Amino acid sequence: MAIEIERKFLVRGNGWQNQAIGQLYRQGYMHTEDGITLRARVVGDKGYLTIKGPSFNNSRAEYEYEIPFEDAEEMLNSLCSSPLIEKVRYHVYHGKFVWEVDEFVGDNQGLIVAEVELKDENQRVELPEWIGEEVSHDQRYSNFNLSKNPWKNWS
């Protein structure tokens, strides 16, 4: 089984931008239940279909498959709920880790989060100076929930 173990943080300042090159991601979610999510995603000229299981602590099952770009676009346009998640993802190297920094656009404009994938739940990670509050267990920050309740609607 493929397991995703990650921690998520808010980003403060712009110290992460020094060597970051980003790529636009568009993704949407199809009807899900019991904490299982089904996502279509387009990155550049590639399409992906991802199935994720319910979260336990910072871990969950994850299966991702490359699919034809045209199929992914069709899923985003006809099967996924609105609004879609649109973000520019940057890979930022710090210490032994690659951080994925997501700068959201569209309905989540202004939100910037950073995720780091771990090998196990107890792995220690050195936090860069631009890392703010940890939001790993705050489900409002999951992309799935941001598609249902965008950041622009938060008070």
Residue-by-residue DSSP string for 13-27? SSGGGTT--EEEEEE
The catalytic residue among 25, 29, 90, 141 is 29
Largest CA distance in the chain: 42
Integer Cα distance of 36 and 149 in angstroms: 18
141 is annotated as an active-site residue: no
For residues 87 and 67, give the distance between their C-alpha atoms in angstroms, rounded to a whole number.
20
- Taking residue 40's Cβ as centre, other Cβ atoms within 10 Å add up to 25
Tell me the helix, strand and coil percentages in the chain, rounded to 5. Answer: 20, 45, 35
Contact 26, 40 (CB under 8 A): no
Show which residues are catalytic: 29
